[in-house]
C-alpha cells in the first residue's frame, strides 16, 4: 500500500531535522579542528527503503552509501531518475564486482589485490560506464594488533595496493577509508589513518580522499582530517528490523 502523504511529510520533516543536526555537528567539528573546509557527508542508507533515499535527495543529499550489493543495486535501479552518487562501503566479494560497477561511483573497501583485479576487469567490460574510471579507496585496518584478514589492509600493505590501483586505466586511486576499531579510542586510531593518508599523498598526490567517521565518532575523524564522513543512524534513525 502506498505511503500516505501525511506519513511522507512527517518522515521528510524528521529527516530534515536530523540532517540539520548532523551538518551542524560536522561544521562545529571542522571549526574546532581549525579547518576552513567542510568534510562531505555520505548518508549510509543500508536497510532503509528507497523512499527514504528519495526524500533525502529532495533535501539536498547527493551522496549515499550502501554495504550490500543486492540492496544497493535494487535501490540504484529504482532511483535511477535521481542525480545521486552511490558509494559502496561494505566488504566486497570479487564475484560481486560486475554488479557493483554498474551503479557505484566509488568503492571504499578495496583491501586485496584480487579485488583490484576484479574491479578493473568489471569496469573495462561494462559499456554503461562510458569509459568513466571507478574511484577506489583502500580500506585500512587501524587495529593496534591487526593481522591480515577482514577489516581492511594492513598499513604496510597500502603502498602495494595503491600501486596496483594506480596502474589500472579503469580505476582511479581516490584515497583511504577506515572504521575505528571496536574497543579502541577512535582519536589515536584516526591519527594513524592520517599518517597513512599523508604517506599515500606523498606518492600519489591526487589520492586526497579520507573516508572516516560515523555517527559516534565523526568529531574525532574530522579532527584527523577526514574529507568524507559516513553517517547513517543519526540521519535515518535506527535501522528497520530485518527479518
pLDDT higher than threshold 60 for residue 171:
yes
Mean confidence (pLDDT) of the chain: 94
pLDDT for res 134: 98
Q: Would you mind telling me the total number of residues written for the chain in this entry?
A: 243
CB 87 within 8 A of CB 64: yes
Neighbour-count burial of 130, counting CB atoms closer than 10 A to its CB (0-12 exposed, 13-18 middle, 19+ buried):
exposed
Domains of the chain: 5-235 (3.20.20.10)
Interacting residues of 31 by C-beta distance below 8 A, sequence separation 6+: none
pLDDT higher than threshold 60 for residue 8:
yes
pLDDT tier at 202 (50, 70, 90 boundaries)? very high
pLDDT for res 148: 66
CB 139 within 8 A of CB 152: yes
pLDDT tier at 1 (50, 70, 90 boundaries)? very low
pLDDT higher than threshold 70 for residue 241:
no
pLDDT higher than threshold 70 for residue 150:
no
Stated pTM of the model: 0.94
Higher pLDDT, 228 or 4: 228
Query: pLDDT digits over 104-140, tens only?
Result: 999 999 999 999 999 999 999 999 998 899 999 999 9
pLDDT for res 145: 77
Interacting residues of 82 by C-beta distance below 8 A, sequence separation 6+: 53, 54, 57
pLDDT higher than threshold 80 for residue 243:
no
Higher pLDDT, 99 or 242: 99
Structure letter (DSSP) for residue 242? -
* Rounded average pLDDT over 214-229: 97
pLDDT for res 142: 95
What is the spatial distance between Cα 189 and Cα 54, in angstroms, rounded to a whole number? Answer: 34
Residues 117, 121, 124, 126, Cα dihedral to 10°: -130
**Grid cell locating 160:** 602495494
In the 3-class helix/strand/coil scheme, how is 135-197 assigned residue by residue? EEEEEECCCCCCCCCCCCECHHHHHHHHHHHHCCCCEEEEEEECCCCCCCCHHHHHHHHHHHH
CB 174 within 8 A of CB 207: yes
Question: b/e map of 43-74 (b: 16 or more CB within 10 Å)?
Answer: bbbbbbebbbbbbbbeeebebbbbbebebbbe
Angle at the Cα of 44 (from 43 to 47), degrees rounded to 5? 135
Query: pLDDT digits over 28-83, tens only?
Result: 999 999 999 999 999 999 999 999 999 999 999 999 999 999 999 999 999 999 99
Distance of CA 11 to the CA centre of its chain: 24
Percent of the chain with pLDDT over 70: 95
pLDDT for res 5: 86
Amino acid at each position: 500500500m502506498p505511503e500516505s502523504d501525511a506519513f511522507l511529510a512527517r518522515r521528510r520533516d524528521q529527516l530534515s531535522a536530523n540532517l540539520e543536526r548532523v551538518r551542524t555537528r560536522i561544521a562545529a567539528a571542522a571549526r574546532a579542528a581549525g579547518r576552513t573546509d567542510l568534510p562531505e557527508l555520505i548518508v549510509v542508507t543500508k536497510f532503509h527503503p528507497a523512499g527514504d533515499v528519495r526524500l533525502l535527495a529532495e533535501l539536498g543529499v547527493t551522496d549515499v552509501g550502501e554495504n550490500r550489493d543486492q540492496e544497493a543495486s535494487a535501490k540504484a535501479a529504482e532511483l535511477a531518475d535521481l542525480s545521486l552518487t552511490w558509494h559502496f562501503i561494505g566488504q566486497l566479494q570479487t564475484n560481486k564486482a560486475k554488479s557493483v560497477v554498474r551503479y557505484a561511483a566509488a568503492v571504499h573497501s578495496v583491501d586485496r589485490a584480487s579485488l583490484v583485479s576484479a574491479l578493473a576487469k568489471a569496469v573495462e567490460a561494462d559499456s554503461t560506464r562510458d569509459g568513466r574510471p571507478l574511484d577506489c579507496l583502500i580500506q585500512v585496518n587501524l587495529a593496534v594488533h591487526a593481522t591480515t584478514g577482514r577489516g581492511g589492509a594492513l598499513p604496510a600493505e597500502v603502498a602495494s595496493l595503491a600501486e596496483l590501483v594506480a596502474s589500472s586505466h579503469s580505476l582511479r586511486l581516490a584515497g583511504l577509508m577506515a572504521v575505528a576499531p571496536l574497543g579502541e579510542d577512535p582519536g589515536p586510531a584516526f591519527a594513524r589513518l592520517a599518517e597513512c593518508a599523508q604517506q599515500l599523498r606523498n606518492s600519489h598526490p591526487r589520492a586526497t580522499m579520507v573516508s572516516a567517521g560515523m555517527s559516534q565518532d565523526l568529531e574525532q575523524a574530522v579532527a584527523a582530517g577526514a574529507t568524507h564522513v559516513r553517517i547513517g543512524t543519526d540521519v535515518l534513525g535506527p535501522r528497520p528490523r530485518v527479518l
